[in-house]
Structure formats: C-alpha cells, structure tokens
A = this chain, B = another copy of it.
Amino acid sequence: MHNILLIGAGKSTSSLIDYFKRKAEVENLHVTIIDRNLDLARKIVGNNERFELKNIDIFDEQLRYDAIKNCDIVISMLPARFHLPVAKDALALGKHMITASYISKELKDLEPEIKQKGLVFMNEIGLDPGIDHMSAMRVIDHIKNSGAQMILFESFTGGLVAPESDDNLWHYKFTWNPRNVVVAGQGGVAQFLHAGQYKYIPYHKLFRRTEFLEIDGYGRFEGYPNRDSLKYQSIYGLEEATTMYRGTMRRVGFSRAWNVFVQLGMTDDTYTIEASENMTKRDFVNAFLPFSPTDSVELKLRQYLKIDQDDELWLKLEELDLFDGETRIGIKNATPAQMLQKILEDKWTLKPDDKDMIVMYHKFGYKMNGEHKQIDSQLVVKGDDQIYTAMAKTVGLPVAIATIKILKGEIKTPGVHLPITSEVYTPILKELKEYGVVFNENEVPFQCYNPNAVAG
C-alpha cells in the first residue's frame, strides 16, 4: 500500500484528488488529506475507505509532523512560504515530497542530505512552473540531440476565461489568486535577452511592451514579459541562446487598459489610503487625479492619460462602473491594490457555468546545418466546469502523476528537482495527453524578432 499525504485541499486540488480516486484501487493507494476546509475534497472523494480526510490546522507544525510520519510521500499545496518546515520534517522522517512551487534557496540548501537519504523532492511541477518546463525541455532536448544549436527561446502562459464564457470587454476573469493578478509584475525590473541585447522594462512600462501571439483556432493574444526571463537560461542549458523571454498572455487590449490602473497608481500595495472605508469608486479614481473645483473626474482622467473620448478602452473602464459615485468600496485601511482588487472581483468572478482556459505558447529558434529554423508549440486546455477548471487540471494532474511515479520508483533520481529531465517529463507528458494536455507543435519560419511587437 502507498500512503500519500496531501496538505491543503483548496480550489486547485480538485483534479489532483480526483486522479488519486480513480487510481486508488489499481495503484493500491491510501490518501490522507488534511485541511481546515474539506468540503471540496469530501465532495470529490465521497464514501471511499481508501481516503482519510482530517480536519486539521495545516499551519500547526506538530499536527503536520504527526501526519507526515505516517505517509510515504508528502504533497504540500500550502502557500509557498510554508514549504520549508514541511520539507525539513519530510527529510527528517525520510519521506519524498512534491510541490508546485518555485525551488527556494533554503530548500536547495537541504539537497546534500536529501540525496544522502535517497529522497526525491520534486518542485515546480504544476502549470507555470511545471508543464511549461516539461514541454519546453522535451523540444529543447530533441533539437539539441539532433545536433542543432538553440538560439531563441520564448515562452508565454495565460490563465484566462474560455471563449464561450467570455462576456466582458476585458476578456478576462479571475481563475487564480486575484491579489497576484493585481500586483503582477511588481517588485523589480523585467529583464530579458533579445537577439543578444539585454533589455530592461520598468514596471510602469510593462503593459505597453506587449507583443501579439496567434493561437490556432483561438485568434490573437498578447504577451508581456515576466521578471525572471534570464533565470532559466542555465537551468534549461540555453547558455548559447541569444533570445530568452518568458511572459504572460492576455487577450488583446487587456494590457493597454490595465495600464490605466498602473499609470494612476491603483496597483500599489505599499501604503494605505486615508479614510478608504468611505470611498466610492469615483473617489478612489479622483485620489490619483489633480484637484479641480470644476472639472469632472472623467475629463481629468482623459486629459491626464490622454485618452480620446471615443477610445475603446474607455468602455472597459465604464464596464467596471469606475465612475460610480454612490456605492462605497468599503474596505478600511486599504492599499490601492486592495481597493482595485475589490472593484475587479465584483466584475471578474467566474459564474457557476463559466469555463476557464489555459493557453501556453513556446517558440524554439535553432540553427541546424547553417540554417535558421523555428518550432512553435501551443497548448490550450479548457475547464470542464467550476470544480474541474483548466487551472485545477493543469496544476494538479502533473503533481498527481509525479506522485505515483515516485512511489512506484519510476522517477527515482534523488535530490531537489524541477521537471527538466527526460526521466520525469517523458512519462508525465505522455500521461497528460490522456487528459487533453496536448501540445500542437509546428515548424515555422525563423524570426529573430517578433514583427508584431507593439511598443509605446
């Protein structure tokens, strides 16, 4: 019998739990799930003796330790900053561990001991990071093994609303932690490498440096750069590449309108606004505009950001009732980012029948026999419903598959890993296909730059 411990049973674990349920008999699993809120897990598992659901405070270190003692492998779906104490317990007790989060320096420091004990600590094995690593490395290894030289790598991921549920002008709904969406891109300059040149974009220009991307059958999207584009150059073995770019995807027009919030200062999470609890949306907008005894908030905003009266982005702002002077937003001691989040949550929450959609787009440029070539790889995954969302599937399934493969010794190299070796990505990508995670790969003409880049 394989004993699995799942710490945390939030929204993104539905497909993960469902996978274990379907594999429980054939793989002889016993799954313990701990969390304060077990509603979702109970709904999925139903009456099943192979599952044990324990109402435990997952931030209680002693209770957590006791739970880890009785398992063979720990899956931590805690917020990233709580992984380290779990990892230390798992190491002390000699258990494998899996997370969908980025590898921290502190975790990497434990690697010698983890290796010594023959344990596998697999991380970054959700969607992004996760499926992006695996699908990219499969192609990169293929290109390199064919004797070619990688010269360009670009990768974009987006969590969006499916076209059939897309009913707002932003073509966006929250399928992920709204706070992360509001503060996305903050905390440092965006750096990347383009045709051998290092490029730097400050936060306030991020949403004006988009480029267009076409996904077959889904039309046009836009991408803006992440902060960490250079980090994976050495991890992916792309030291020779002269273009390295990782970005986030949105529907066309989102970034240009989002830039209004950035320019006003509404995404700032570092200070609180005076008397925020009394503010209407109109007051909130006005706090970022010059005082005038006569001019309207609307006119001041148009003039300040040079928005034409018939600009389509104005309709996006109106759709959010941004100039409503009646209703209070109603949060005390709020930062601008918290106020904005509340405004957006009222409009961008998925309805019961809405479906979400994940899109991913990789570009691989390489040189073979003196010729420049390019492969584009595209993925679209749609959610089934509000429980089995595309986000839950793409985050949870790789974690679930990896769990079984580690338990069965099919993934066995000890250490602190992310899924970039064939031992890991080949079997997992193969099985993911059964769940509709299928990349569409095509040879296209090489482009050392994107002619559809939109600047300014």
Residues of A within 8 A of B (CB): 188-189, 191, 194-195, 197-202, 204-205, 209, 263-265, 268, 270-271, 273-275, 286-293, 300, 303-306, 336, 448-449, 453, 455-456
Complex CA distance for A336 and B453, rounded to whole angstroms: 24
Task: Say yes or no: A271 contacts B189, CB within 8 Å.
Answer: yes
Query: Quick one: copies of this chain in the complex?
Result: 2
A387 CB to closest chain B CB (Å) equals 39
Residues of B within 8 A of A300 (CB): 455
Q: Given A189-B271, A268-B189, A271-B188, does the pair A290, B209 have CB atoms closer than 8 Å?
A: yes
Complex CA distance for A228 and B77, rounded to whole angstroms: 42
- Name 20 A/B residue pairs within 8 A (Cβ), A-sorted: A188-B270, A189-B265, A189-B270, A191-B271, A199-B287, A200-B268, A200-B273, A200-B287, A200-B288, A200-B336, A201-B265, A202-B264, A202-B288, A204-B204, A205-B264, A289-B455, A290-B455, A291-B449, A300-B455, A303-B455
Task: Say yes or no: B199 contacts A274, CB within 8 Å.
Answer: no
Closest to A276 in B: B198
Closest to A292 in B: B449
Residues of B within 8 A of A287 (CB): 197-200
Task: Say yes or no: A306 contacts B456, CB within 8 Å.
Answer: yes
Task: Say yes or no: B200 contacts A265, CB within 8 Å.
Answer: yes
Residues of B within 8 A of A194 (CB): 290-291
Task: Say yes or no: B195 contacts A293, CB within 8 Å.
Answer: yes
A301 CB to closest chain B CB (Å) equals 10
Complex CA distance for A194 and B293, rounded to whole angstroms: 11
Complex CA distance for A291 and B453, rounded to whole angstroms: 9
Closest to A211 in B: B290
Task: Say yes or no: A198 contacts B263, CB within 8 Å.
Answer: no
Task: Say yes or no: B200 contacts A290, CB within 8 Å.
Answer: no
Closest to A243 in B: B291
Residues of B within 8 A of A265 (CB): 189, 200-202, 205
A192 CB to closest chain B CB (Å) equals 10
Closest to A447 in B: B293
A292 CB to closest chain B CB (Å) equals 7
Complex CA distance for A205 and B260, rounded to whole angstroms: 12
Task: Say yes or no: A291 contacts B197, CB within 8 Å.
Answer: yes
Residues of B within 8 A of A303 (CB): 455-456
A242 CB to closest chain B CB (Å) equals 10
Q: Which of A195, A287, A300 has the most CB of B within 10 A?
A: A287
Residues of B within 8 A of A195 (CB): 291, 293
Complex CA distance for A202 and B293, rounded to whole angstroms: 22
Complex CA distance for A288 and B209, rounded to whole angstroms: 11
Q: Given A200-B336, A204-B204, does the pair A293, B456 have CB atoms closer than 8 Å?
A: no
Closest to A195 in B: B291
Closest to A187 in B: B270
Residues of B within 8 A of A189 (CB): 265, 268, 270-271
A328 CB to closest chain B CB (Å) equals 16
